[in-house]
């Protein structure tokens, strides 16, 4: 049996008629930049999250960068973020001119260790960028408390957490702003690069939109310099179709995660835990185990594709050598980077594929 890590074609086949119709409509109307489809998706996504404003941008990295810049983050500032994320999180901080201050992860949730966040706050700290890693919400209650106490901005990196919740409230609605990626493999994915910024702050929303549109709203009227980062209309139309299915797909991801946990409960691996007040949306189903690389290779020999998210903690990448960190500075992230393994996870994954994956995993480990 072949088990893909993710199968985007399988999802497309289930909604092919809707998708093809949406793309054809954009082409027929030639509304390729801006227009009705972009506005409709922005309105629908904001409503879905329970926020007032959504600004479509070119990708998730731009979303973080633009949100931070709109908040005034720049040269001389420091921004606290997770040591165990994709480089898009930290490079967006650096692009503003600010310095990324990395914090180790909580050993249970893999999200920002808020006790370490408190210790990392200094006189130059201007913002915190918590990452809702793998689809599990970060501890936004504590992050917001710290932000309020020290007068800091919060920009949620929600690239992996579409529809995730804390106490029934969707992530993306806790910070001053939040950044979403719609990269094709995300829980809500486009068919190319796409992203969005969401916020309840009208003035901030306007600045974000201007920064993504050459510093203005009206053509040839540019109160400031910006850039070119706008949500493509075809991608917006695709996302508008897919948003209608997101709740169903999320429920399916959670059911698959429950099945994994049930079958693997007697297996010597650490599976992601559920917490009563948090809705994990399982962008990734990440386990920890010994001899990870050996196990991954053996699974592939049985046709089971897996991933590693992420093999090196951000501060230990060559790109951040100038910060002078060593793995001992982030012991949890460093240790887990050699133990984590992402199992196949997507809504169209069948029960037999999950069972087969678990059966082979248990046999290899034993």
Q: What are phi and psi of 180, to 5 degrees?
A: -120, 140
pLDDT by residue (tens digit) across 190-211? Answer: 999 999 999 999 999 999 999 9
- Among residues 313, 330, 292, the alpha carbon closest in space to that of 113 is found at 330
Question: Token pair of 173, please?
Answer: 């609605």
Answer yes or no: do 236 and 260 share one domain. no
Which candidate, 213, 149, 147, 133, places its Cα nearest to that of 177?
A: 147
- Is residue 2 one of the residues assigned to a domain? no
| Residue in 325, 59, 16 with CA at minimum distance from that of residue 182 | 59
Mean pLDDT of 162-184: 98
User: 170 and 89 in one domain?
Assistant: yes
Check whether residue 49 and residue 133 sit in a common domain: yes
pLDDT tens digits for range 144-153:
999 999 999 9
Q: Are residues 228 and 180 in the same domain?
A: yes
Question: Are both 238 and 268 inside the same structural domain?
Answer: no
Token pair belonging to 21: 């119709």
Domain count, the chain: 2
Q: Check residue 295 and give its pLDDT.
A: 98
Same domain, residue pair 194 and 59: yes
Classify residue 77: in a domain, yes or no.
Answer: yes
Looking at the domain assignment, is residue 171 inside a domain? yes
Residues 143, 42: Cα–Cα separation, whole Å: 27
Domain boundary among 243, 259, 274: 243
Q: What is the CA radius of gyration of the chain?
A: 20
pLDDT digits (tens, 9 = 90+) for 265-310: 999 999 998 999 999 999 999 999 999 999 999 999 999 999 999 9
User: What pLDDT does residue 3 have?
Assistant: 98
| Whether residue 347 is found in the same domain as residue 278 | yes
How many angstroms separate the CA atoms of 251 and 282, rounded?
10
Domain final position from 243, 261, 293: 243
Which of 108, 75, 148, 157 lies closest to 275, judged by CA?
108
- Can you give the pLDDT at residue 7? 98
Token code pair at residue 50:
């329970």
Average pLDDT along the chain: 97
Same domain, 256 and 174: no
Nearest Cα to Cα of residue 90 among 347, 345, 361, 325: 325
122 in the same domain as 41: yes
Contact 176, 71 (CB under 8 A): yes
Tell me how far CA of residue 153 lies from CA of 6, 85, 120, 327, 347, in angstroms.
Answer: 35, 20, 15, 28, 35
CATH number at residue 257: 3.90.1150.10
Residue 59 in domain: yes
Strand 340-343 relative to strand 285-288, pairing: antiparallel
Q: What is the pLDDT of residue 120?
A: 98
57 pairs with which residues across the strands?
195
Domain presence at residue 49? yes
Q: Is residue 3 part of a domain?
A: no
Give per-residue pLDDT as tens, 15-34: 999 999 999 999 999 999 99
d(CA 82, CA 197): 19
- Tokens 């990324």 appear where? 100
Asked whether residue 94 falls in the same domain as residue 211, the answer is yes
Q: 193 and 80, same structural domain?
A: yes
Residue 277 domain-assigned?
yes
> Which residues are within 8 A (CB) of 326 and not within 5 positions of it... i.e. 6 or more apart?
316
Domain range enclosing 124: 8-243
Q: Is the pTM of this model over 0.95?
A: yes
Residue 1: inside a domain: no
For strands 125-129 and 78-82, give the pairing.
parallel
pLDDT score recorded for residue 218: 87
Using the 3D structure, point to which of 243, 268, 285 is the last residue of a domain.
243
Residue 362 buriedness (CB in 10 A; 0-12 / 13-18 / 19+): middle
Per-residue pLDDT tens digits for 32-79 = 999 999 999 999 999 999 999 999 999 999 999 999 999 999 999 999
Which CATH number do you get for residue 216? Answer: 3.40.640.10
What is the distance between the alpha carbons of residues 360 and 42, in angstroms, rounded to a whole number?
Answer: 43
Residues 360 and 344 in one domain: yes
| C-alpha span between 284 and 281 (Å, rounded) | 8
């Amino acid at each position: 049996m072949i088990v893909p890590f993710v199968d985007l074609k399988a999802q497309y086949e289930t909604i092919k008629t809707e998708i093809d119709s949406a793309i054809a409509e954009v082409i027929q109307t030639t509304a390729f930049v801006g227009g009705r489809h972009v506005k409709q998706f922005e309105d629908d996504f904001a409503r879905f999250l329970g926020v007032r404003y959504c600004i479509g941008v070119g990708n998730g990295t731009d979303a973080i960068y633009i949100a931070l810049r709109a908040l005034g983050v720049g040269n001389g500032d420091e921004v606290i973020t997770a040591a165990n994320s994709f480089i898009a999180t930290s490079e967006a901080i650096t692009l503003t001119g600010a310095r990324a201050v990395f914090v180790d992860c909580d050993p249970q949730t893999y999200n920002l260790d808020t006790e370490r966040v408190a210790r990392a706050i200094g006189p130059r700290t201007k913002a915190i960028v918590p990452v809702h890693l793998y689809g599990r919400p970060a501890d936004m209650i504590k992050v917001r408390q710290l932000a309020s106490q020290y007068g800091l901005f919060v920009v949620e990196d929600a690239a992996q957490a579409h529809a995730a919740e804390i106490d029934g409230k969707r992530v993306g609605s806790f910070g001053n702003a939040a950044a979403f990626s719609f990269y094709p493999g995300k829980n809500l994915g486009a068919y190319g690069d796409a992203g969005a910024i969401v916020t309840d702050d009208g003035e901030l929303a306007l600045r974000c939109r201007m920064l993504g549109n050459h510093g203005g709203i009206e053509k040839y009227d540019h109160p400031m310099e910006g850039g070119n980062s706008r949500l493509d209309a075809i991608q917006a139309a695709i996302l508008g179709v897919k948003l209608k299915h997101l709740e169903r797909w999320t429920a399916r991801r959670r059911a698959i995660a429950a099945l994994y946990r049930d079958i693997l409960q007697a297996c010597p691996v650490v599976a992601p835990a559920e917490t009563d007040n948090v809705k994990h949306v399982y962008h990734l189903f990440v386990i920890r185990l010994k001899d990870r690389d050996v196990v991954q290779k053996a699974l592939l020999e049985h046709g089971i594709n897996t991933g590693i998210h992420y093999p090196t903690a951000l501060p230990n990448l060559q790109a951040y050598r100038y910060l002078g960190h060593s793995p001992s500075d982030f012991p949890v992230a460093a240790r887990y980077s050699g133990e984590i393994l992402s199992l196949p996870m997507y809504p169209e994954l069948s029960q037999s594929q999950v069972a087969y994956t678990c059966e082979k995993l248990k046999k290899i480990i034993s």
